[in-house]
Amino acid sequence: MSVIMVKDLEKRYGNMKAVDKISFTVEEGQIFSLLGPNGAGKTTTVEILEGLRKRDGGDIEVLGEDPEKFSAEAKRKMAIVFQETALFENLTVLETLKFFRRTYGGSVDLYEILEELGLLEKKRTLVRYLSGGQKRRLALATILTHDPKLVFLDEPTTGLDPAARRKIWEIILRLKSEGKTIFLTTHYMEEAQFLSDVVCIMDRGKIVEMGSPEEIIKRSGLKSVVKAKIDGKEITLETDEPEKSVKELIEKGAEEINIRKPNLEDVFLHLTGRELRD
Ligand SMILES: Nc1ncnc2c1ncn2[C@@H]1O[C@H](COP(=O)(O)OP(=O)(O)OP(=O)(O)O)[C@@H](O)[C@H]1O
Ligand SMILES: [Mg+2]
């Protein structure tokens, strides 16, 4: 079943086409990642799907409804973590979670959530005194206070330390194992490669590639790089069949053999370029 269906979605700001006729679907239980350089149109797309911005063209269904006319029931089935955290600065951490639990009518143990996200010691601290990473974790904690079917995460791990990032990955995979659908945007290619069932790469408002990380890497035609030393001399090979090259190199007596396979980051840079975007 498709949880999100997007057909020819368009959004303009003045003359600029921020989203230029994009189409995709997200199936139930998938982790779908939207990738793209700064300004590609990711947040615009996500916020249209969340019902927070109006579109200029195209058809969309999210949980079977048009986001511009979401019912209260559809809204209750969704959880959103924004790119810029929108939390109440004057509530404490615990009060924030209580507020979300009450809003959505959940009955979860908030202390368990605080513990899991390493915020237990901060439970009586006002949100305004939290560090950037702690705020981010609290924003993520809010989605655990109820039982959404669809979770939107706009750059959930930006600014988090490595341990916190791994924790968030673990939580995202757990939500998936519970059958929830996750719509993610991220600038961390390792994160997208590790988590996603489907990756969609946007650039300048258009989709430039879509598929599973493995498919996309394969389709890119990028080669593996094999480095080795033969008789003390360093050699570098580009190949589609690194294992075969390694075998041949071993037969030639090569040492210090090192393989680097193309990853999602290589494909991303290959497709969207290395120059900065304004
Ligand atoms: N409310 C707005 N008014 C005018 N232009 C906007 C508005 N919101 C976004 N834009 C422009 O639309 C384009 C897409 O912005 P968007 O925030 O969707 O990008 P993004 O892919 O989320 O980027 P980032 O990776 O930096 O978060 C940008 O050029 C941005 O300047
Ligand atoms: Mg954005």
Looking at the CA of residue 11, tell me the nearest atom of ligand 1: 12
Q: 204 is written with which tokens? A: 């300048």
User: pTM for this structure?
Assistant: 0.91
Nearest CA to ligand 1 atom 16: 41
Looking at the CA of residue 205, tell me the nearest atom of ligand 1: 14
Looking at the CA of residue 202, tell me the nearest atom of ligand 1: 21
155 Cα–ligand 2 center, Å: 8
CATH number for the domain spanning 34: value is 3.40.50.300
Whether 83 and 116 map to the same domain: the answer is yes
What's the per-residue H, E or C state across the chain?
CEEEEEEEEEEEECCEEEEEEEEEEEECCCEEEEECCCCCCHHHHHHHHCCCCCCCEEEEEECCECHHHCCHHHHHCEEEECCCCCCCCCCEHHHHHHHHHHHHCCCCCHHHHHHHCCCHHHCCCEHHHCCHHHHHHHHHHHHCCCCCCEEEEECCCCCCCHHHHHHHHHHHHHHHHCCCEEEEECCCHHHHHHHCCEEEEEECCEEEEEECHHHHHHHHCCCEEEEEEECCEEEEEEECCHHHHHHHHHHCCCEEEEEECCCHHHHHHHHHCCCCCC
Q: Total domain count for the chain?
A: 2
Whether 12 and 127 map to the same domain: the answer is yes
Whether 65 and 198 map to the same domain: the answer is yes
Per-residue pLDDT of the chain (278 residues; tens, 9 = 90+): 899 999 999 999 999 999 999 999 999 999 999 999 999 999 999 999 999 999 999 999 999 999 999 999 999 999 998 877 678 999 999 999 999 999 888 789 999 999 999 999 999 999 999 998 899 899 999 999 999 999 999 999 998 999 989 999 999 999 999 999 999 999 999 999 999 999 999 999 999 999 999 999 999 999 999 999 998 899 999 999 999 999 999 998 999 999 999 999 999 999 998 777 66
Nearest CA to ligand 1 atom 17: 43
Whether 35 and 136 map to the same domain: the answer is yes
Domain span at 64? 2-217
